[in-house]
Amino acid sequence: MKNKKSYRVELFLIFVTVVSAFALNSWNENRKADIAESKLLTEIRQGLEKDLLDMDENLRGHRMGNQAVDYFRRFLTQKPIDQDSLLTYYLTVTRDFISIQNISGYETLKSRGFELIENDSLRTKIISLYEYDYSSLRKLEEEYYEMQFQENYFKEINRTLAKYFIFDADGKITGIDVNQKIDETEKRILLTYLMKIKTNRNFVMYQYDVTKVKVLDLIKNIEAYKGH
């Protein structure tokens, strides 16, 4: 009877030990997953903060492009212009941009598995931002045909404007002749090009503004989730 009791106690102790080992192992695995999730979210958040700076830089570039459009509209419609700004606006009127995105954190998440982010809502927002919003911005800036201003408009705009440029002895542009009569057909063509450039810049700037709101919202969500 004594041996039976002792045997049962030993079995119980073995059972407790095994269960405890499984529980400890599960706790360790969950802790490792939590640490990995936290590190990954920190990396994603840092990337998002850099993305905001890159988006602001492109927005500044597009705003300057629109100012260049307005500048040459004034020239074509014989309104006063600042000759000192000519070269700046000449170089920026058809400048286009690439969409720089810091996606290393997101790529790590994809390789590790999206389920690493436990919160369904947060996981969905991350995937949506990178797969849809960022992809749309990149395609707009780099692939959408009408947004390739340098390729589509520079030669035509330059062909007309070059007739009115003033050059020094070294061949450098020093100004633009505001007194020379502008051919009416060429003026109308240039004005339509400038309209298209500004319309497309305004569209992509709107997309940047919408995406920035989503990025800021995601940063807040990540910080709130990590603080829970």
Helix axes 104-112, 2-76, angle to 10 degrees: 140
The type of residue at 211 is: T
Q: What is the pLDDT of residue 23?
A: 47
Task: Identify the CA nearest to 72 among candidates 146, 149, 145.
Answer: 149
Q: E strands within 113-223?
A: 165-167, 173-176
Q: What is the pLDDT of residue 24?
A: 46
105 pLDDT above the threshold of 70: yes
2 pLDDT above the threshold of 70: no
Encode pLDDT of 107-136 as tens digits.
999 998 888 888 999 999 999 999 999 999
Between 135 and 34, residue with greater pLDDT: 135
Q: Two tokens at 212? A: 């920035």
Beta bridge partners of 168: none
Q: Return all residues near 216 (Cβ < 8 A) that are at least 6 apart.
A: 52
Helical (H) or strand (E) element with 39: helix 2-76
The proportion of the chain whose per-residue pLDDT surpasses 70, expressed as a percent, equals 84
Confidence of residue 27 (pLDDT cuts 50, 70, 90): very low
Using DSSP, how many helices (H) and how many strands (E) does the chain show? Answer: 7, 2
**Is the pTM value of this prediction over 0.75?**
yes
